[in-house]
């Protein structure tokens, strides 16, 4: 089916759903979240007052996600749509248009401390950028979709606290009667995030400064590195859709040897082939799996945001220390 036909079909389904009569859950705030990490924040703030639909599932890759007709139905019925923003969800504008959604789309990165997209910096810098040497057309497409800033802002707990506050404000605006509940839930969860932040900082202090260079599949951990004093190198850019060239991989391998990187990891949303190649050529042992853009399923080690952050940092620490 062509993209235009698919979108037309999605719009038709959404319209039919809206014409079918009153919503079965009219007393609940109908919330659509783009990704599983945001959904976890929303559950902690909304509690039983919301009915939540997540578009990109656990272990899903937001960068390459293609919406389904049921996503258009959910969007058409939504009271609030929660999105990351910063061009993370390339599918979202098409989906909003196809669904005829009237709900406000809240970009939860409003107010966070943003980091520049490192590939944007390399593109505009005057020095040699062999480590990002890829086809110009691909580069243009990549930057068109991912913009000036790194979208993975939740990898800093301080930024996650901003997300949670933005969600509480959005829920209060859509459901004034539930506002005291949302604010109390957000305050309680914020206290848990403060404790998590202190726990992560304590873990990183156990890693010697000389062993804090980490290799991952794509550049999703810039905020984690900036916040907690780690350096992340990746053959791909901020999107899993950006291709790593042979020259770029060779340059990264040399950089790994020069900087004596301490650990290399696969990601839950990425093909492990490239990391396996780099590990083989550098003699590094793969230190485990990190969760970048999506939570694990309920039976995995990262089914909540707090579990994900704790798992990632403890896995990095253990690999760096050779445990």
For 159-207, what is each residue's pLDDT tens digit? 999 999 999 999 999 999 999 999 999 999 999 999 999 999 999 999 9
DSSP 245: P
Q: What is the pLDDT of residue 146?
A: 58
Per-residue pLDDT at 119: 57
Return the structure tokens found at 36: 């599983």
Task: Looking at the structure, give the CATH architecture of the domain made up of residues 3-113+151-190.
Answer: 3-Layer(aba) Sandwich (3.40)
Place of tokens 């800033």: 149
Q: Which helix (H) or strand (E) holds 83?
A: strand 80-83
Beta strands in 98-196 (DSSP E): 105-107
Section 95-105 average pLDDT? 97
Q: How confident is residue 154, by pLDDT bands cut at 50, 70 and 90?
A: very high
The pLDDT value recorded for residue 138 is: 35
Quick one: tokens of 220?
Answer: 């999703």
β-pairing verdict for 231-233 and 213-215: parallel
The class level of CATH for 195-320 reads: alpha beta
The pLDDT value given to residue 22 = 37
Report, as an integer, the average pLDDT of 136-151.
55
Ramachandran region of residue 120, left (φ > 0), alpha (ψ -120 to 50) or beta?
alpha
Q: For residue range 257-303, list pLDDT tens digits in order.
A: 888 899 999 999 887 888 898 899 989 999 999 999 999 999 999 99
pLDDT in tens, 123-134: 433 333 333 333
Q: Say what the pLDDT of residue 234 is.
A: 82
Q: Residue 53 is inside which H or E element, if any?
A: strand 50-54
Question: Do 195-320 and 3-113+151-190 have the same topology in CATH?
Answer: yes
**How confident is the prediction for the chain on average, in pLDDT?**
85
Q: How many CA atoms lie within 13 A of 87 on its CB side?
A: 13
pLDDT, tens digit, for every residue of 9-62? 455 444 444 443 333 334 899 999 999 999 999 999 999 999 999 999 999 999
pLDDT tens digits along 84-94 = 999 999 999 99
Residue boundaries of the structural domains of the chain? 3-113+151-190, 195-320
Tokens of 4: 């235009």
Output the CA torsion sign for 257, 258, 260, 261. negative
């Amino acid at each position: 089916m062509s993209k235009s036909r698919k979108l037309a079909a999605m719009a038709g389904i959404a319209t039919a759903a809206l014409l079918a009569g009153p919503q079965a859950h009219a007393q609940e705030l109908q919330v659509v979240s783009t990704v599983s990490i945001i959904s976890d924040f929303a559950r902690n703030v909304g509690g039983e007052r919301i009915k939540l639909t997540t578009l990109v599932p656990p272990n899903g890759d937001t960068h390459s996600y293609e919406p389904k007709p049921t996503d258009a139905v959910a969007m058409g019925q939504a009271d609030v749509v929660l999105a990351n923003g910063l061009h993370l969800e390339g599918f979202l504008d098409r989906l909003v248009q196809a669904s005829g959604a009237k709900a406000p789309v809240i970009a939860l990165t409003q107010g966070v401390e943003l980091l520049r997209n490192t590939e944007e910096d390399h593109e505009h810098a005057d020095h040699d950028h062999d480590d990002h040497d890829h086809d110009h057309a691909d580069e243009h497409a990549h930057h068109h979709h991912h913009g000036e800033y790194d979208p993975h802002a939740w990898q800093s707990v301080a930024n996650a606290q901003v997300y949670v506050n933005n969600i509480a404000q959005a829920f209060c605006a859509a459901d004034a009667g539930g506002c005291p509940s949302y604010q109390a839930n957000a305050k309680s969860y914020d206290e848990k995030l403060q404790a998590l932040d202190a726990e992560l900082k304590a873990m990183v202090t156990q890693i010697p400064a000389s062993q804090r260079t980490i290799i991952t599949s794509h550049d999703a951990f810039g905020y984690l590195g900036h916040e907690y004093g780690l350096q992340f190198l990746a053959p791909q850019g901020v999107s899993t859709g950006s291709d790593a060239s042979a020259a770029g991989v060779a340059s990264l391998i040399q950089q790994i040897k020069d900087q004596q990187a301490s650990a290399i990891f696969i990601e839950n949303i990425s093909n492990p082939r490239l990391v396996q190649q780099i590990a083989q050529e550098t003699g590094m042992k793969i230190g485990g799996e990190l969760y970048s853009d999506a939570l694990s399923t309920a039976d995995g080690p990262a089914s909540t945001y707090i579990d994900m952050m704790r798992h990632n940092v403890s896995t990095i620490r253990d690999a760096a220390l050779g445990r």
